[in-house]
A and B are shown apart, each in its own frame.
Chain A
Amino acid sequence: MSTERYSYYPGCSLHASASEYDLSTRELFAALGIGLDEVPDWICCGATPAHNVDELLSLSLCAKNLELAGQMPGDMAVACAACFSRLKFTQHVLHENETKRRQVEKAIDAPVPLDRTVKHLLEILVHDLGVERLAAAVTKPLAGLKVACYYGCLLTRPPEVPQLDDCEDPTIMETMLHAAGAETVAWTHRMECCGANFTLSRPGVVLQLSNAILDSAKAAGADCIMVGCPLCHGNLDIRQREIEGVYHRHYDMPVFYLTQLMGLAFGIAPERLGLDALIVSPVKLLRDKKLL
């Protein structure tokens, strides 16, 4: 039961700047025959700004979402790495700290379901479904596509919170892509920070950090980058032209969401995966590799 039906928490970005992540997630899960029910009236998890200045508020907003999802069947499926991290952090902190749990339960006026399992899409695909089922669903192997898997910060750090994979050398993305027939490259910046939400307040920070990431992926011979976080995507894709201009580089490096690449491998039509919403167009690359 729990492996076949999930309560879905998309998060704010997936309803706007990352709408293609939302679209491709729904298509992918439909193709795999897995139920995905959006949590009604979910609220913002508070992301970085909330825990930056007000931990109690951050914990309470996430607890409210856990409570809303707790009224639905199945584990909680989260697409955004930041939302995933905040929800897992909330469970971790409230589990460890009795005082904070009492304060949060008072703030949301309800008990917090701490045992509700929160999973990132990667865990659902690779652990719950398993590599064999993924490989069996592949109709169009991503043969010859060299992908740099970008984990960023919050999928694995700090290790005691997300418990998704090794905190310095994870392999879950590579495992998934190998099942889809793609090649993955070894590169230096797979765990480095992209600058995250400084994109609003101090974009110069993002340009510098994201440039290093694009540079490393290019040097490793990657055709494209794969991410599981809308903020990383925004910084690497939406700001890529600006980065090229500032640092006088030429990357032309498409950045895919993990659900888009898997969707392609499962033979889902490209227009239903939101590939046209990517700022750096992947059309030439995919045509060259005979994937379009």
Chain B
Amino acid sequence: MKKKKMLLSAKTMDLDMVKKVEQLSGTSVRRCFQCGKCSAGCPMATFMEHPPNRVVRLLQLGQWQRILAGRSIWYCASCETCSTRCPNKVHLASIMDALRKLSWDQDGPSKESYVQLANKLFLQNIRTYGRQYEMRLAAVFNVKSGQFLKDMMLGPKLLTKGKLKVFHQKNRNLADVEKIFSRIEEMRKTGEAL
């Protein structure tokens, strides 16, 4: 997909996506005039196949599938440098959030599975325990990603320093937390929220 020659026509351009992203992110995609300041300051640009300014350009040209197929949006660290420096007040970090959500809703057609797995486990932990338990998060991530030995050397050191809690309590207001998740799901089903 990403190496294919780009042909622009009504058939190959998905401009509805621009409107959806603008609605979700609350910022303008069309206002970007490609100065490239976002990519110049982006600490993660070296890890991306499409640097941030090109992601916006692809979006403007309706090439949403090209963005989805790559890893770029999942390699954004949300450091907010791009949004801070944009001369046209395009809030690019929010556009990245919107793109990830749209990709996520399509159940991740991207190749970047580790970041998505980490996100998924993180959110599951909140729903189950109300808070994040780092040891559990790291252990389950290693098992699910098949990297059993990842950071194995750090474990004992962190335990002796009191930085990993093996036992933890559940919040008393877990029912409230569950309601937040289920009400949002309900709103999405009825079309009340995106």
Interface positions of A (Cβ within 8 A of B): 12-13, 15-19, 41-44, 46-57, 60-61, 64, 93, 96-97, 100, 103, 106-109, 153-154, 157-159, 167-168, 192-193, 195-198, 200-203, 205, 209, 238, 242, 276-277, 279
With A43-B173, A109-B183 as known contacts, state yes or no: A96 contacts B26, CB within 8 Å: yes
Closest B residue to A204 by CB, please name it.
B47
Sample of 4 further A-B pairs with CB below 8 A, known A43-B130, A43-B171 = A13-B132, A42-B131, A57-B184, A106-B183
Q: Are B187 and A106 in contact (CB under 8 A)?
A: yes
Given known contacts A16-B134, A52-B119, A196-B79, is B26 in contact with A97 (CB within 8 Å)?
yes
Residues of B in contact with A (beta carbons under 8 Å apart): 24, 26, 43-44, 47, 75, 77-81, 83-84, 91, 93, 97-98, 100-101, 104, 114-115, 117-119, 122-123, 125-126, 130-135, 137-138, 141, 150-151, 154, 157-158, 161-165, 171-173, 176-177, 179-181, 183-184, 187, 192-194
Given A154-B80, A193-B77, A53 and B26 contact (CB-CB distance below 8 Å): no
Residues in chain B near residue A201, CB distance under 8 A: 114-115, 117-118, 141
Identify whether the interface residues of A are mostly helix, strand, loop, or mixed: helix
Q: How many A-B residue pairs have CB under 8 A?
A: 167
Q: How far is the CA of A13 from the CA of B164 in the complex (A)?
A: 10
Q: What are the 8 closest A-B residue pairs judged by CB atoms, nearest first?
A: A12-B132, A157-B80, A49-B122, A153-B79, A201-B118, A193-B79, A49-B119, A53-B104
Q: Write 23 A-B pairs (CB below 8 A) sorted by A numbering.
A: A12-B132, A16-B135, A17-B134, A19-B162, A44-B125, A44-B131, A47-B132, A48-B78, A49-B123, A54-B101, A56-B184, A56-B194, A57-B180, A64-B177, A93-B26, A103-B192, A107-B184, A158-B83, A202-B115, A205-B77, A238-B154, A238-B158, A279-B157
A100-B187 Cα distance, complex, nearest whole Å: 12
Question: Looking across the interface, which residue of chain A has its beta carbon closest to that of B118?
Answer: A201
Q: Are B163 and A157 in contact (CB under 8 A)?
A: no
Which residues on the A side are within 8 Å of B77 (C-beta)? 48, 153, 193, 195-198, 205
Contact A158 B91 (CB under 8 A): yes
Report the minimum CB–CB distance from A59 to chain B (whole Å): 10
Taking CB atoms, residues of chain A closer than 8 Å to B151 are: 203
Q: Which A residues are CB-close (under 8 A) to B154?
A: 238, 242
Which of A49, A54, A96, A107 counts the most chain B CB atoms within 10 A?
A49
Report Cα–Cα, A93/B47, bound state, in Å.
Answer: 29
For B133, the chain A residues whose CB sits under 8 A away are 12, 16
| Contact (Cβ within 8 A) B101 A61 | no
Q: Which residues of A contact B93 (CB under 8 A)?
A: 158
Known: A49-B122, A202-B115. A12 touches B47 (CB 8 A): no
How long is the Cα–Cα vector from A100 to B161 in the complex, in angstroms? 42
Residues of B within 8 Å of A198, CB to CB, are 77, 115
Closest-CB distance, A214 to chain B (whole angstroms): 15
Question: What is the minimal beta-carbon distance from A232 to any residue of chain B, in angstroms?
Answer: 11
Contacts of A238 in B (CB 8 A): 154, 158, 163
**Bound complex: CA A103 to CA B132 (Å):** 24
The residue among B24, B26, B115, B171 with the most chain A CB atoms within 10 A of its own CB is: B115
CB distance B132 to A44 under 8 Å?
yes
B187 A107 Cβ-Cβ under 8 A: yes
Residues of A within 8 A of B194 (CB): 56
- In the complex, residue of chain A having the shortest beta-carbon distance to the beta carbon of B172: A41
- Chain A residues near B164 (CB-CB < 8 A): 16-17
B81 touches A153 (CB 8 A): yes
